Amino acid sequence: MTGKILTKHTIIKGALILTFASILIRVLGAVYRIPLARMLGAEGMGIYAVPNQFYLLFFTISSAGIPVAVARLVSEKMAAGHYRDAHRTFMISLYAMSLVGLVFSLLLLAGAPWLVKSGLVANPASYYGLIAVAPIIFFSAVTASMRGLFQGLQYMSPVAVSQVADQIMLVVATVWFSYLLLPKGLAMAAAGANLGALPGAVAATAIMAYYYFKHRKTLISTINTDTSGFREDTWSLLKRILSVSLSVSFASVALAITWILDNKLIIERLQLIGYSVQNATALYGQFNQMAMSFINISIAFALSLGTSLVPSVSEAYSTNNPGRIGQQASTGVRMSLMTTLPAAAGLFFLAPQLTEFVFADSGAGIPLAALAPAIVFWGVHLVLSGVMQGLGRADIPVYNLLAGIFFKIGITYFLTPTGLGIKAAAYGTVAMFIVSSVLNFLSVKRMVGLEIDFINSLIKPGIASLIMGLVARKTYLLVLTGAESSNIAIISAILVGAILFPILIILSGCLHPEDLKMLPRIGDKIQALLNTVQEKRSKLLAKLKG
């Protein structure tokens, strides 16, 4: 492309914006659940969760992989100088996704009564929420196609802006609509929360349309320079888009189906040991909407790390450099563990206090404590999935995840109607990511000879995390005794843990100065500081040995 759209500066800036936008979206996605959970309670959150999962399933099947597919084809055609066909690819995908999105919206709208009647939706109170989320699929499908165009042009700012605007409006509208409908009952209030995603979806579509028409003149100018005459068959384009999008979205589809099965299995299996539908729904809400919120934030860095590994591994693979790929993979795993281990320890030792502080529901701490180890294995799974995607084998992590899902479903089904109760569902999730991460590790090891420094990657940060968790727990108890305020105590414990862990990993020597290069702007300064600390640490150790 020529003109303002593509410059090297814009590409790098856009990539950074997209990374920060992804983290911001995850934080916002967890933050709005705080006031929502305090309004709806655990049962209301359980009712609210189910329609979202069906929306996620329908959207994933219809269009979740479309941005990647369109981006790949547009990028490919732009590189070949087929500018007219690149734009035509986008237009075909836009028309197709508009139709597909409309069909899936109407399908969910018409199928909502059947989903409740058939028992796939375990609690009939979620019916209104299913109706509320149906229109969102259409707007999300249209937006997905537009995002694919800009990703293919390597102009990421519009994508980031639309994503952040979507999430901000969702946060505001979800809480506001739920509050307005609360006097009409819990089911309607939960449906109001589901409807809150619609304004953001509409805004995201409008923003992408604005950017498209803003740059359309430049696009047309570039198209007019294309004298190649190349024109790929429409059906061929559609098949290629579908082929790429399905392979990309298959893992998301598998997870979406798993979360839906979770809802049905947990609520029905809990009733076998005496829980009412309302009580079982409340426990499901604690597990899925409260405890999982902490987990989703905790794996944000690992998710970004896995995504960033795809292009770097792909580049190393194209130059036939397996040694570099193995080094990138091992560094990625080590950096993931450096963030997920302390997060898991903190959530495990302070689970009920954190859920009481955030959601005013200490009971959600039971599934949270059981879920905490999943963070570590999920992080490894994400990083190594990124490595295999960069190697062009996106299918392998999908198969590995499916193997983990098999264990999860089995554990949830057989152990939920026992004394474990809701903890069984949490243990099933942990088992899922243990299996998938181990299989991912073995797969990458076979492909590029992955070697992990277990002392610096696992043992040292693991011990530091354990110490941090114990000290944070002790801090909470001491402050609670003196201040007699649980809120002050938990804030104090979090601050102590946040300060203590970096000190421990620096003193242990498991954090390498070169690891900090990836941090934008401040990376070099922190690296220089850490080099100084490491030098003094080495001199001190030498004196002690002498």
pLDDT digits (tens, 9 = 90+) for 71-130: 778 877 887 788 888 888 889 989 998 999 999 999 999 999 999 998 888 889 999 999
Q: What is the pLDDT, as a whole number, of residue 324?
A: 84
Q: DSSP assignment of 326-342, as one string?
A: HHHHHHHHHHHHHHHHH
Is 163 within 8 Å of 131 (Cβ atoms)? no
Half-sphere exposure of 450 (CA within 13 A, CB side): 24
Q: Determine the pLDDT at residue 252.
A: 78
Backbone dihedral angles phi then psi of residue 531, each to the nearest 5 degrees: -60, -40
What pLDDT is attached to residue 4? 44
Count, residues in the chain: 546
Cα-to-chain-centroid distance, residue 232: 35
pLDDT of 245 above 80: no
Residue 516 DSSP code:
G
pLDDT, average across residues 402-430: 96
Question: Which residue do the tokens 């702007």 mark?
Answer: 521
Residue 211: φ, ψ to 5°:
-65, -35
pLDDT of residue 122: 83
Which residue matches tokens 């069906």? 54
What pLDDT shows up at residue 412?
95
- Whether the CB-CB separation of 334 and 254 falls below 8 Å is answered with no
Rounded distance between C-alpha atoms, residue 65 and residue 243, angstroms: 10
Rounded to whole angstroms, the Cα distance separating 30 from 118 reads 31
**Residue 216: partners with Cβ closer than 8 Å, 6 or more residues away:** none
- Residue 84's H or E segment, with its range, is helix 83-118
Average pLDDT over residues 529-545: 65
What is the distance between the alpha carbons of residues 528 and 510, in angstroms, rounded to a whole number? 16
pLDDT at 421 > cutoff 60: yes
**What is the pLDDT, as a whole number, of residue 17?**
60
Overall average pLDDT of the 304-325 stretch: 76
User: How far is residue 100's CA from residue 145's CA, in Å, rounded to a whole number?
Assistant: 11
Alpha carbons 272 and 409: distance in angstroms, whole number: 17
**Cβ proximity of 104 and 253 under 8 Å:** no
Spatial contact of 383 and 330, defined as CB atoms under 8 Å apart:
no
Predicted confidence band at 522 (pLDDT cuts at 50, 70, 90)?
very low
What is the distance between the alpha carbons of residues 47 and 185, in angstroms, rounded to a whole number?
Answer: 12
Query: Residue 491 above 80 pLDDT?
Result: yes
Check residue 277 and give its pLDDT.
92
Nearest to 332 by CA among 316, 312, 346, 317: 312
Alpha-carbon gap, residue 89 to 233, rounded angstroms: 10
User: How far apart are the C-alpha atoms of 488 and 505, rounded to whole Å?
Assistant: 26
The pLDDT score that the predictor gives to residue 333 is: 92
Closest CA to 137 of 174, 91, 102: 102
- pLDDT for res 301: 81
What is the C-alpha separation between 56 and 48, in angstroms, rounded? 13
Q: Where are the domains of the chain?
A: 1-245, 514-545
Alpha helices in 484-546, H assignment, sequence order: 486-508, 523-545
Min mean pLDDT across 303-312, 355-364, 448-457 is at 303-312
Percent of the chain at pLDDT exceeding 90: 50
Does residue 488 carry a pLDDT above 50?
A: yes
> Looking at residue 5, what is its pLDDT?
45
Cα 454 to Cα 460: distance, rounded to the nearest angstrom: 9
Q: Averaged over 459-482, what is the pLDDT?
A: 96
pLDDT at position 540 is 67
Q: Are 190 and 125 in contact (CB under 8 A)?
A: yes
The amino acid at 411: I
Average pLDDT, the chain: 86
And the tokens for 374?
């999943």
- What local confidence, expressed as pLDDT, does residue 34 receive? 87
| C-alpha–C-alpha distance, residues 525 and 518, integer Å | 12
267-276 confidence digits (pLDDT tens):
999 999 999 9
Pair of tokens at residue 258: 């798993």
Cβ within 8 Å of residue 111, ≥6 positions away: none
Higher pLDDT residue, 449 or 369?
369
pLDDT score recorded for residue 508: 83
Q: With bands split at pLDDT 50, 70 and 90, how would you rate the model's confidence at 515?
A: low
pLDDT band with cut points at 50, 70 and 90 for residue 266? very high
H-state helical runs in 372-417: 374-390, 395-415
Q: What does the pLDDT look like over 162-220, one tens digit per residue?
A: 988 999 999 999 999 999 999 999 999 999 999 999 999 999 999 999 999 988 888 88
Instruction: Give the pLDDT of residue 340.
Output: 95
CB 159 within 8 A of CB 150: yes
pLDDT of residue 531: 63
SS (H, E, C) 185-216: CHHHHHHHHHHCHHHHHHHHHHHHHHHHHHHH
Name the CA dihedral angle for 396, 398, 401, 405, rounded to a multiple of 10 degrees. Answer: -140
Q: 72 or 465: whose pLDDT is higher?
A: 465
Please report the pLDDT score of residue 8 as a whole number. Answer: 40
Portion of the chain with pLDDT greater than 70, in percent: 89
pTM confidence score: 0.78
